[in-house]
């Protein structure tokens, strides 16, 4: 989508610190990290939020989780643990409407909410 920030990162129109990329997904460092490790994983396809997911997207979302595991290992948080989370729409605190998952770790996280 033309006016979507993360689509612009996918098209390399906006720079990002990319840590993983293939034909289906991309992972890059969050610009405002909440913890020592804070990476965003996104499908390259513009899916606005989790409620817009369709059965055809199942494979890419499964793949994204396997890559999240790989990135957690590379970032050194697979042993200590981490959080993978999606903020969905207004009450979920979503700001950018291109589906993304936060991989957060490197410190002890407090409980949800
Ligand atoms: P959310 O609230 O789940 O929509 O999270 C959006 C996230 O995108 C926030 O953690 C922001 O810090 C992050 N963010 C915003 N702009 C950029 C950018 N240009 N590069 C990397 N991360 C970004
Ligand atoms: Zn987008």
CB 48 within 8 A of CB 99: yes
Percent of the chain's residues with pLDDT above 90: 96
87: pLDDT confidence band, cut at 50, 70 and 90? very high
Residue 59's pLDDT band (boundaries 50, 70, 90)? very high
Protein residues within 5 Å, CB atom, of ion ligand 2: 1, 4, 6-7, 46, 98
CB atoms within 10 A of CB 8: 16
Domain range 5-105, CATH architecture: 2-Layer Sandwich (3.30)
Residues with CB under 6 A from ligand 1: 5, 14, 16, 28, 30-32, 40, 87, 93-96
- Higher-confidence residue: 13 or 1? 13
Closest Cα to atom 12, ligand 1: which residue?
A: 32
Neighbours of 65 (CB within 10 A): 12
Cα-based angle 79, 106, 100 (whole degrees, multiple of 5):
95
Catalytic residue list: 100
pLDDT tens for residues 22-39?
A: 999 999 999 999 999 999
96 CA to middle of ligand 2, Å?
9
pTM, 2 dp: 0.98
Per-residue pLDDT tens for 95-108? 999 999 999 999 99
Q: To the nearest whole number, what is the mean pLDDT of the chain?
A: 97
């Amino acid at each position: 989508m033309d006016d979507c920030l993360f689509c612009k990162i996918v098209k390399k129109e906006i720079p990002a610190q990319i840590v993983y990329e293939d034909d289906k997904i991309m992972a890059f460092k969050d610009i405002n990290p909440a913890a020592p490790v804070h990476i965003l994983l996104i499908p390259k396809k513009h899916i606005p939020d989790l409620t817009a997911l369709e059965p055809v997207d199942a494979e890419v979302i499964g793949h994204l989780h396997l890559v999240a595991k790989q990135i957690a290992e590379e970032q050194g948080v697979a042993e200590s643990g981490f959080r993978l989370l999606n903020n969905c729409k207004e009450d979920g605190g979503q700001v950018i409407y291109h589906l993304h998952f936060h991989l957060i770790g490197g410190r002890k996280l407090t409980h949800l909410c």
